[in-house]
Structure 1
Amino acid sequence: MWHCTTLTARTDRPLADVEWAHVAVLLLDAAGIAPLGDVEACRWIALRHARDHIHLVATLARQDGRRPNLRGNYYRIRDTCDQIENELGLSPTQRVR
C-alpha cells in the first residue's frame, strides 16, 4: 500500500473539492501510481476529512498484475507540488535537501 498526505499552509485559502481532486490526479500521475490515461493503473482513493489536507492511498498492484514504476517518484512529486502551488496560488513549500 502507498500513502501520501498532502496539505496546504494555514495561511492558504481553502481548496474546493474539484481542486483537491485535480491535486490528487496530478500527484498520483507524478508518483507513477496512476499515470494519466492508464486504464490498467493502480486503484486509489483520496480522502478529505479536513479543510486543509487530503490523504491519498493506493494499492501497489496494477490492474494488469504488474507493479507500478516508482523509481524517482520523489523528484517528480516534488516538481509537481511546485507546479500545483504556482497554479493554485498556494504558499511555496521548502525543499528538503
Structure 2
Amino acid sequence: MNAKLLFAATALAAIAAAASGIAQADEADGSQFALRIDGSRTRAEVAAEAARVPLTRSQEPAGSRVLAPLRSDLQTQSVRAQAIDALRLGKIPSGERSL
C-alpha cells in the first residue's frame, strides 16, 4: 500500500513540475529584449567622458584615511627591540599555541 501511495505522489509531483515548465515557456519570447535606445551623443563623446572618470575619482579605498595619521616620537628600532624582548620572555604568544 505504501509503495502505491509513494508512486502516485511521485507521479503527481512529476506532472505538476512538467506543467509548471510548460506554463513558463511563453515568458522567454524575447520581446522584453527588443528595446531600442536612441542616444544623442557620439561614440567619441562617450569615450572622452569615460577617460575623464579616473581623473575625478579617488584611488584610495573608502575609509582608508578616516583618521588623521598618528604621530609618534618612538623609533622603529626601539619598538622592534621591545617586541623581541617580550616575545623572548613569553609575554607575547606565538605560533599555533597562541590561542
| Structure richer in strand, relative to its length | 1
Tell me which of the two structures has the higher relative contact order, counting C-alpha pairs closer than 8 angstroms and 6 or more residues apart. 1
Fold match by TM threshold 0.5: no
TM-score range, shorter chain: under 0.3
In the superposition, the TM-score normalised over structure 2's length comes to 0.20
| Structure richer in helix, relative to its length | 2
In the superposition, the TM-score normalised over structure 1's length comes to 0.21
Choose 1 or 2 for highest CA Rg.
2
